[in-house]
Amino acid sequence: MSASPASRPPRSPQPGIPPCRRPSSTRRQRPGAPWRAVAVALGFLASTASAQDLDLLRGQRNYLAACAACHGPHGRYDPALPGVQSLDPKPADFSDPLFNSREPAGDWFMVTKHGGALIGFSAAMPAFTDAFSDAEIEEMIAHLKTLAGEHNYPPGDLNYLLAFRTKKAWIEDEVVYFNRFTRRPDGEDAVANALEFEKRWFARWQTELKLVHEFEGGQGQWDEVEAGAKYVLYDHLPRTFLLSGGADFAVSLRSGNEAEAIPFLAAAKGLGEAFTLQTSLKSHLPFRDPGGGDLEWASVVHWMPTPWPRGVFPGLELTARAPFQPGDQDEVQWTLLPQFNFGLSRRGHVRAAAGVEIPLNQRTYDFRFHAYVLWDFADGMFWEGWRKGRAQPAGISEYE
């Protein structure tokens, strides 16, 4: 089983685990002293989520009865088991903290209930929709989340959809191709293309590398190269809250080779059953003249009306950018960016998004059209997981 990038906000503290009964393996991460004030300042985002009192012991019993023959009693398969020898690929290792943490519980619920083939995974993973109730499946998933033991990895339930201007708080293993078309009043339209590679390291780190090419005024040229790092500072699954910080460094490839540092903070918050909120604050600081930089705030809300990875997910993004040394124009430039995110593969590990950015005050451009294609390579090769299985259970989503 694996997760899609479009995971919904968890319905309960670790789905099915009320706060008073959290096992030791679901350790709450606390911010370090330098960041405690930041976490408190953003505390308005971290309202308490509702809990469901599910029976974890029953979840363990059902797992041992229905799943242990392939996945092993402790979450790691035994190659000597008769039920495993013929399987290709082999079952997932739930005892691996990286795999266990990066997979949203909601995705595991979908695979357990409807089977692997329907979600673009192995057809050897059966559907348990007729064997267990939804509550019993949630209990098994809650038990699975304890099998990795005590660890420092943030929970994949807080991995929300990628926006265009808002820096994402979650750490990724993915490749993203971005395209941006800018329509200007003077007719000097511009097209920018960027390729970004993101890689997770250890429990809470991510590095990224981006190369940008721009076509403007009838000529194309490489615009800049950008490298950076991100670290998860704080996560709190019961309150569906994640806080990260980091910095990017951009070097212009045009004449002059100007460079700038871009420090940032990014936060993510689940808003009930079907909405997510992400916000970021970053600053562009030119090395030659830091006072000539600016401060940029961005925030996006996505609506996720279905748990199926292959769906359409609308979003609305608002940005504000203020220069440190305002000139004759308005001090703060505001933009609005309605957008749609599309799950392309059945796993949701290949996705696309498109949106139009509209300036609300300064009119240096008429509009910008944004688009991207994303491949989360941790969930398989680009061409995997597009087809559905032969058997299709009754009562599935209209999106299927």
Q: Is the pTM of this model over 0.95?
A: no
Report the run of H or E that residue 340 belongs to, with start and end.
strand 333-343
Cα separation, 17 vs 50, whole angstroms:
10
pLDDT of residue 362: 79
The list of the chain residues with pLDDT below 70 reads 1-53, 328-330, 389-400
**Exposure pattern of 217-227 as b/e (b: 16+ CB <10 Å)?**
eeeeeebbebe
Q: In this structure, which amino acid lies at residue 284?
A: H
pLDDT of residue 330: 66
**Exposure pattern of 171-193 as b/e (b: 16+ CB <10 Å)?**
bbbbbbebebebeeeeeeebebe
Cα separation, 354 vs 337, whole angstroms:
10
Give per-residue pLDDT as tens, 216-241. Answer: 877 899 999 999 999 999 999 999 99
Domains of the chain: 19-39+50-144 (1.10.760), 156-379 (2.40.160.40)
Neighbours of 148 (CB within 10 A): 20
Contacts of 388 (CB under 8 A, 6+ apart): 117, 118, 120, 346, 400
pLDDT of residue 10: 53
Cα separation, 197 vs 177, whole angstroms:
9
**Angle at Cα 310 formed by Cα 121 and Cα 159, nearest 5°?**
85
Give per-residue pLDDT as tens, 378-399. Answer: 999 999 999 875 544 433 333 3
Rg of the chain on CA atoms, in Å: 22
pLDDT of residue 281: 98
